[in-house]
Amino acid sequence: MGIHEVMGTRPAAAGLPALLLALTWLACPGSVHAYRDGGCNRGPYPNPPSVLGGVLLPAGDADEAVAGARRLGIGTRSCRDPNGWWIEGAQLGSTAVMWRPGGSQGKFLGLPTVGVYPLLHEQGEAWGCPWHVPMNAPQPCGARQVVAAIAVVSDLDRACDGAVYVHAWPRAAFYLPCGPQFDVPWMGARARDITLAYGRLRLLAPSDPEGLAARWLEQAGPRWVGITLEVDDVGAAAHELRRRGVPVIAASDGSRPVLIVEPEGLGGTLLEMVPATPF
């Protein structure tokens, strides 16, 4: 099932936000497109989101970003200028991990972006600074690519019904359909994925009241909470994180090892590491 413009046809299970946007579209004549706030847009229309291009992670300043990258085991490049502008980050495969002023703030698909803000467009190789193009850096934990941004929610189906992505300018909105439900036993959760090029948006809801997902939900409520990284070797990554004093949980998805670092160990960002998929 593909991505749908909310002002066009979409699945019958649509939530109220998408339905209201569709009604707004009906009020715009001809080929005019609907704004979320009720206006009409005759300009060029944006393409629907189709890729997980990376993530923005939270940091109050550049020093906090450097410390956060170190805790995550992600090698980064630093961009600074005399006027106070800064960006910290790394290109991992086709995806970017970055920290910048005002980064992980606001809401995404209606959920607070406390731990991570997903980027649904390709970053290219020139997103950092001219003296670091591309933003490649040695990776102490063997990080290859961001393959998921993770949200924890209380009602999985309701969260999926309200999965409307709003494009800032020109203003437009798209419904992002979730796939079927499946179990994530190592997190004590049920999940549904929004599949994109390079990765996915994963929505988790607790299925075990004593499980990890239930604890994360109780700690800070529904929110975008973390990321999944593919790494060269999960065992070696665990050893490196422990060497840095980061507490890790070794688990398994039934066929391969999985490494989890809970949000409280990383300043509010959940980290999951999985083996890189062989080509």
Cβ-proximal residues to 168 (8 Å cutoff; 6+ apart), any chain:
none
Q: What is the CATH number of the domain that holds 173?
A: 3.10.180.10
Residue 39 lies in a domain: no
Strands 223-231 and 270-275: parallel
Residue 12 lies in a domain: no
pLDDT in tens, 37-75: 445 555 567 888 999 999 999 999 999 999 999 999 999
pLDDT in tens, 153-208: 999 999 999 999 988 788 889 999 999 999 999 999 999 999 999 999 999 999 99
Residue 43 lies in a domain: no
Residue 200 lies in a domain: yes
Residue 13 lies in a domain: no
pLDDT bracket for residue 25 (50, 70, 90)? very low
**Domain housing 180:** 54-275
| Cα Rg, the chain, nearest whole Å | 19
In whole angstroms, give the CA distance from residue 188 to residue 261.
15
Domain count, the chain: 1
Contact 263, 270 (CB under 8 A): yes
Task: Return the higher-pLDDT residue of 19 and 124.
Answer: 124
Q: What is the mean pLDDT of residues 203-232?
A: 97
pTM of the model: 0.84
**Helix, strand, coil percent values for the chain (each to nearest 5):** 20, 35, 45
